[in-house]
Amino acid sequence: MSTISLTREKIKCQKMKKELVRIDENKVNLEVNSLNALIPQIELLRQQAQAVLSSTPTSLSGEQEVHQHLTLSDYPNASAITASELMGVKDEYSTYLANLKGLGSLEDYELNDEGKVSVKASKVAQIREEYSLYLSGEKLEAYKGLQKVCDELNKVNKVLPSPIAHRLIQVDYNGKPRPNLAQILSQTL
């Protein structure tokens, strides 16, 4: 194959319109719910940071603020655990640290306008995109044609006592569909 025909194929593929045909909402909901399941633990972390700081942290984890709060100007070389002991918040700081280490990455979370922890909208959009199916070219045309057939079968199902319209079609040896008269006559409509 020559370079010119390869270039033409690339241009043809670029011109094909991709169209969204399905989003697997079950998988999207499963992943988003999995992320939402960590929110109570992050909220608890923020409460623990508040216990150390004596004020609500402005960041998601409060890690930077807790670190700054436990930096003593009189004792710059004192460890955070020593500083927390001198400030009388050693137990609160230890609990906070244990929870912080257990959480892992918080990059998929943010504080919303109300100051509550939520999953980032960009993460939800990324998950939706991951479980989206796009078609183009001949596959898209076949899908659209089959969708019309399904719509018509659904119309027929509405007039039948049970949804069996798909069984009222037969395909002959040439692959051509046609009404299955034997099935139609045997049905009580």
For 104, the 3-state DSSP assignment is: coil
Specify the pLDDT at position 24: 95
Closest to 184 (Cα-Cα) out of 176, 164, 174, 175: 164
Specify the pLDDT at position 168: 82
Element (H, E) at 11: helix 3-15
Average of per-residue pLDDT across 163-178: 84
Q: Is 126 left (phi over 0), alpha (psi -120 to 50) or beta?
A: alpha
**Domain coordinates in residue numbering, the chain:** 3-24+135-186, 31-129
Separation CA 19–CA 11 (nearest Å): 18
For the full predicted model, state whether its pTM sits above 0.95.
no
The answer to whether residues 68 and 59 touch, using CB atoms and an 8 Å cutoff, is: no
Predicted confidence (pLDDT) at residue 113 exceeds the cutoff of 60: yes
Predicted confidence (pLDDT) at residue 133 exceeds the cutoff of 90: yes
Q: Is 9 left (phi over 0), alpha (psi -120 to 50) or beta?
A: alpha
- What are the tens digits of pLDDT across the range 139-160? 999 999 989 988 988 888 888 8
Separation CA 103–CA 169 (nearest Å): 56
pLDDT band for position 174 (cuts 50, 70, 90): confident
Average of per-residue pLDDT across 29-37: 96
Kindly give the residue spans of alpha helices, DSSP state H, lying in 57-136: 63-69, 80-87, 90-103, 121-130
- Tell me what percent of the residues of the chain surpass a pLDDT of 70: 90
User: What is the average pLDDT score of the chain?
Assistant: 86
